[in-house]
Amino acid sequence: MRFLTIFLGLLFCCIFKSGNSATANHHQFKVDGKVLELDESNFDSAISSLDYILVDFYAPWCGHCKRLAPQLDEAAPVLAEFKEPVVIAKLDADKFTTLAHKYQIGGYPTLKLFMHGVPIDYYGPRKADLLVRYLKKFVASDVSLLSSDSAITDFIEAAGTYFPIYIGFGLNETVISDLAIKYKKKAWFSVAKDFSKDAMVLYGFNKVPALVVLHPSYKQQNVFYGPFEDDLGDFIKKNFLPLAVPMNHETLKILKDDNRTIVLTIVEDENEEKSQKAIKLLGAAASANGDLVFGYVGVKQWEEFADTFGGNEKTKLPKMIIWNGVEEYFSVIGSESLDDEEDQRSQISRFLEGFRQGRIEKHIIKGPSVTEFIRSLIGIGTVFIIVFLVAMLMLIRSLWKDDEPLKVSTRDEVHLVESSEDEQSEAESNEYRPGKKED
């Protein structure tokens, strides 16, 4: 009887503890099209129980956050209607700083998409309708099967312009399924089961099997004919960006994970007709030189970046250089710029030949924008840490000086010191010291 009582008592304690634990840790989250308010008590439960949740890390005083909120409110009910619903949630990161530090929130608002509990940074559009189209990518099928020309057209239109689109023609979906799963966050994948000769002309391939990649926002495309067993993954990875890559903050983020050397062409204006002709030639060169990235930037579009490589209105443009992605770049001796009066295709070929033969001259990136590029490559968090450490060293130095023992001086000694300080004041006026304010 005694053992039975002890057993029942232990069983009751276990049930009671389990029940309390379940009550404390389990939250019911309704997918009702409303923005979910998160805090430290329900955050972990939300991201673990909801397959897809977009979290807005905001601060109540932030103006950009206030402007974003109505867009998220508008998108939330549409996203909730997806076959695989996406829930929008928000967290006051200014209040719940532990979670903000955990997810490295460095500014407001910051959006992160949690897919089955795993966070990724959201860099997509923030207007409601475009945000919905962007997020549709993450809940779509790994490989979409298309049965007609019209189905191909509808698929491309629905995919939008933010991700590259891979379409296999005369290709079995099993050939690309594994890679489609691996790179689902970066591109759309599909296989056309039936298509016409008009489709072959439209998408620029002349035999099957073929894998076509489209970059709608750049109006560029590329074709891969195999071998699919060995080189398919390499082709897909190298074509997340178009053949000729426009240099901007977003493409630099992608290129920091690409180990290839960059052939950078600086033009006056990317939108000018003569620049567009040069860009097409760069794309053709990229097709034949897969070990290099061919990028371009217009002085009008990003003057600071172009000037870092000596490209400005005083420079003969288009200018071509070789960039290793950090603080060095190289010019090719005898091929520093492209002449509009000559065949530019041949000039680009000579430039590449000179580079591969080692006829290059080394340069160091100049100007204040170097910090911007380093921040793109190593992350803003690291820059903040470096600045913090420098500030701490300066503070320690200042405190060390302040701790020197005081000396009681005579009036004559004080007068002598004051005279000496007057003589040095002009020389020291331009010297920066700890504690001196400086913009």
Q: Which residues are catalytic?
A: 62, 65
CA–CA gap between residue 115 and residue 110 (Å, rounded): 16
- Give yes or no for a contact between 44 and 98, defined as CB atoms under 8 angstroms apart: no
Residue 402 backbone phi and psi in degrees, to 5: -65, -25
User: Per residue, what are the HEC states of 212-260?
Assistant: EEEECCCCEEEEECCCCCCCHHHHHHHCCCCCEEECCHHHHHHHCCCCC
CB burial of 254-293 (b: ≥16 within 10 Å; e: otherwise) equals ebeebeeebbbbbbbebeeeebeebbebbbebbeebeebb
Please give the order of strands across the beta sheet that includes 292-298: 244-246, 292-298, 261-267, 319-323, 328-332, 360-364
CA–CA gap between residue 305 and residue 375 (Å, rounded): 13
Please give the order of strands across the beta sheet that includes 165-169: 144-146, 188-192, 165-169, 210-215, 220-224
CA–CA gap between residue 222 and residue 352 (Å, rounded): 21
